[in-house]
Amino acid sequence: MPTVLDIIPGNYFRAVLVVALGVVPLLIVLQLFRTYWRLRHIPGPFSATFSNLQRVLWVKTRQAHLIHQRVHEQYGPVVRTGPNMVMFDDPDAIPIVHTMRRGFPKSPFYNIFKSYTPDGGRNTVFNATDEEALKKIKSPVAPLFSATNAMAFEPIIDEVLACFAKNVDKRYLQHGTIFDLGKWLQYYAFDVMGMLTFSKRYSFLDEGEDVGGMLGAIYTYMEDLAPLTQIPWADKLLFKNWLAHAIRRAPSLAILQVVASAIQKRQEQMEKGDRFNGRPDFLAKFMEIAAKDPKLPPGVVTDWTFTNIIAGSDSVGAVMTTMMFHLLQNSNSMLKLQTELRSANLTRPHARLSEIQSLPYLDACMWEAIRLHPAFALPLERVVPEGGITIGEYYLPAGTWVGGNPYVVNRHKKTFGEDAEFWRPERWLEGDEKYKNRLQQSNLTVSDLLLCVCLLASSVPSHTHPRI
């Protein structure tokens, strides 16, 4: 029977094939050994030594946060979960990894959240991995998210809160009907951000449903992208190329269409001289900032607005739902919060942000909700800079991807107590101010979310409905 070498004519080509058949396997073996050797000193599942496939499968189960927790319980506070990926669960690593200093960039994990463009994707404040690009788009809008500026939005939030109360009363409370409060809090969060961003509600509260399928689009967006965050190269194959873009609808396209339509309508209104009753919504401010600075990247208004919709709505809705769930589950906590609100002599019908900032138990409930249910329960990866870093007893060489899962870090028992798995707002009231600051700094929940929560917190009613 003839062999492969017999089929290929010429000694030269046979020699090339022989070399290739010998060299390629050798190169593969050497690469696998190099991958293993680089982080060999860090414990972790053997399957994670050579491939990120295990990470992808964890995410596909929708239980990755629980799996990460079990992995840390098995292997310790620093665990290798991929060929170049290391996770930590100790809050002491937060200031090392999630530092404000330059030179500690985001990993390719964040590229997954960039909408496709032929030149490499759209940068937002959340997903920009290049530090110079991040500075260009973050600095101009940072002042808009100050506590002082948040107070200017209170009348808008009050308007949406009144709509929320009217529709819930009319549909359910007047008839004593059971309803999904979590769903309605999500509608409320989106309609608030619609007003803050566009001076227009999405009408979720009025219609009592996901108008236009935006909530569904965001769910699909996150569901499609989450596994890809663990293998960023696959994103280019499936979504981020001209062919895939031509034949397959990108997960973010539905949301971008909402943004693009709103911006186009606003531009048409501006051309007609409409100043929107002087309302200081985010879109107006974004457009004003972009018009004054021609050096800003093209499409930056779209990128800022897109971030507002995703981070400002979905994440805040999740926190409010978590907080209300645990208050309804824990009557003692609900009673304490009701007592504090009633004793504070707050403005009616809706409290002012300045009034609730000094309410300790409300503040504790908010922090506890953020701790227990972070908006994003996957490691927020960074790239170790030149010179490497040390976390605990382990040295991580330059180029290593490193991060902590907020769900796991926020349950660190040595920091938050042996009852860290459970709802107990009182933990934020124990000890002095230094202790409270320590707990806050140990909370790995996305920092941008805290601002949005504080913004929406100005809508907390100064009365409690007797039937809740």
**CATH assignment of the domain containing 146:** 1.10.630.10
Residue 123 domain-assigned?
yes
Structural domain boundaries, residue 123: 114-328
Please state the domain count of the chain: 2
| Same-domain pairing of 135 and 234 | yes
Task: Give how far Cα 369 sits from Cα of 39, 270, 412, 420, 425, Å.
Answer: 36, 41, 15, 12, 9
Q: What pTM value is reported for the model?
A: 0.84
* 346 token code pair: 């707050």
* 149 token code pair: 């500026």
* Distance, CA of 264 to chain centre: 27
- Contact between 429 and 360 (Cβ < 8 Å): yes
| Same-domain pairing of 32 and 119 | no
What pLDDT is recorded for position 50?
85
User: What whole-number distance in Å separates Cα of residue 120 and Cα of residue 114?
Assistant: 8
347 three-state secondary structure: coil
| Same-domain pairing of 32 and 136 | no
Q: What is the DSSP string of 150-204?
A: HHTTHHHHHHHHHHHHHHHHHHTGGGT----HHHHHHHHHHHHHHHHHHSS--SH
| Same-domain pairing of 159 and 264 | yes
- Asked which of 308, 328, 348 is the last residue of a domain, the reply is 328
- Asked which of 270, 297, 328 is the last residue of a domain, the reply is 328
Query: What Rg, from alpha-carbon coordinates, does the chain have?
Result: 26
| Same-domain pairing of 26 and 135 | no
Residue 175 domain-assigned?
yes
What pLDDT is recorded for position 24?
59
| Same-domain pairing of 29 and 133 | no
| Same-domain pairing of 10 and 147 | no
Residue 374 domain-assigned?
no
What pLDDT is recorded for position 250?
59
User: What whole-number distance in Å separates Cα of residue 290 and Cα of residue 269?
Assistant: 17
| Same-domain pairing of 226 and 118 | yes
| Same-domain pairing of 25 and 172 | no
Residue 453 domain-assigned?
no
What pLDDT is recorded for position 305?
85
Look at the block and give the residue holding tokens 């991929």. Answer: 82
Which runs of consecutive H residues, i.e. helices, occur in 330-419? 331-343, 353-356, 360-372, 406-409, 413-416
Residue 209 domain-assigned?
yes
| Same-domain pairing of 32 and 118 | no
* 403 token code pair: 């991060």
Residue 231 domain-assigned?
yes
Counting as low any pLDDT under 50, the low residues of the chain are 5, 8, 447-468
| Same-domain pairing of 135 and 257 | yes
- Asked which of 291, 313, 328 is the last residue of a domain, the reply is 328
Residue 51 domain-assigned?
no
What pLDDT is recorded for position 459?
40
According to DSSP, residue 311 is labeled I
Residue 213 domain-assigned?
yes
